[in-house]
Amino acid sequence: AADVLTFGETMLAAQLPGPLAVGAEARTTIAGAESNVAIGLARLGHRAVWAGLVGDDEPGRLILRTLRGEGVDTSHAGVRPEAPTGGMLRERRVADLVRVHYWRRHSAASLLAPPDLAPALRAGARVLHLTGITCALGTGPLEAVRDAAAHAHAHGWTVVLDVNHRHRLWTGEEAGRALLPLLEHVTVLIASDDELPVVTGAFAERPRGEEAAVDALLAAGVREVVVKRGGEGAAFRDGDGSRHTVPALRVPVRDTVGAGDAFCAGYLSGLLDGLPPERRLDRANTLGAFAVASDGDWEGLPRRDELGLLAAAPGTTIR
């Protein structure tokens, strides 16, 4: 069986070093939070399955070819001729300000429904990885997430939910309504500190602090809560009362997009390797640092033998 099953929308992505409106040249690649996680895991030698839908088009072929080339299992991915693969464009507007545009409405990925996942769920995995992005794609994808979470929970898999709030896709209230009912199935919840209100239903009331938000999540039955704090690192708490905080690695920042997904891949890798919480956070921070210190979401992620690379002195040439 697989180590990790994940699914969601992967898009054709164009990366522009300047504004589109004046004709900046683009680099084409693929982007998608779940496939970023799958690639991060595959690079570390874990068996990751990505089970999303693409269109029967060139972007779809680029996505499947890239994932296969990275060693991600796509045997449960689907091709849908009736809808196109989604797309996104990222323009570096000024130095460190990046603007994102999506073309994902009515995309092949948004056609996902529970039957699409049945074979992958039957095949089994140790961990199910879910994100809030998939839940935001429509009622079919949300139902697919719900069914997968219930199935995985019932079969004793570890269920990991990364909140990954995308305010371009839905509001915090909408996200809360979709995500709160999932919590009963969630083993590990991963969120940025600013995303916590989405999953505690607190956006409508007075905002709660991080401590109270994590209390609420643990009370809802989540076993572990992992909070990402950007350049500050990350924190962990579980239902048994243990807590850990681990600082981020100090690296030059090139491109922060994808840091959260890399972090998640690192955390899952640590879980699969049976590491204790503090060392899971270490590996998560290490992958997050690789993502921010390199261009692209996933291109710069480490293989297992490269995990120690960031400890080298700045400016080192590896010969």
Strand order in the sheet with 48-50: 48-50, 2-6, 125-131, 158-162, 188-192, 224-228, 234-238, 243-246
215 is catalytic: no
**Contact between residue 102 and residue 168 where contact means Cβ atoms under 8 Å apart:** yes
Residue 128 within binding range of ligand ADP, rule CB under 6 A: no
Taking CB under 6 A as the rule, which mask of x and - marks residues 146-185 in contact with ligand KDG? --------------------x-------------------
Measure the CA–CA gap between 265 and 299, rounded to whole angstroms.
Answer: 14
CB nearer to ligand ADP: pick between 116 and 282: 282
- Each residue 289-318 as x (binds ligand ADP by CB under 6 A) or -, in order, gives x--x--------------------------
How far is it, in rounded angstroms, from Cα 123 to Cα 15? 36
Least distance from ligand KDG to the Cβ atom of residue 141, Å: 12
Q: Please say which residue, 84 or 277, places its beta carbon nearer to ligand KDG.
A: 84
Task: Indicate whether 256 belongs to the interface with ligand ADP (CB under 6 A).
Answer: yes
153, amino acid identity: H
CB-closest chain residue to ligand KDG: 31
Contact flag: residue 245 with ligand ADP (CB under 6 A) = no
User: Which one of the listed residues 3, 255, 261, 297 is annotated catalytic?
Assistant: 261
Residue 277 contacts ligand KDG per CB under 6 A: no
Distance CA 212, CA 205 (A): 13
102 CB-near residues (< 8 Å, 6+ apart) = 11, 86, 87, 88, 168
CA distance 38 to 298: 10
Shortest distance, position 240 Cβ to ligand KDG, whole Å: 30
- Positions annotated as catalytic residues are 261
List contacts with ligand KDG (CB under 6 A): 31-33, 36, 133, 166, 257-258, 260-261, 297
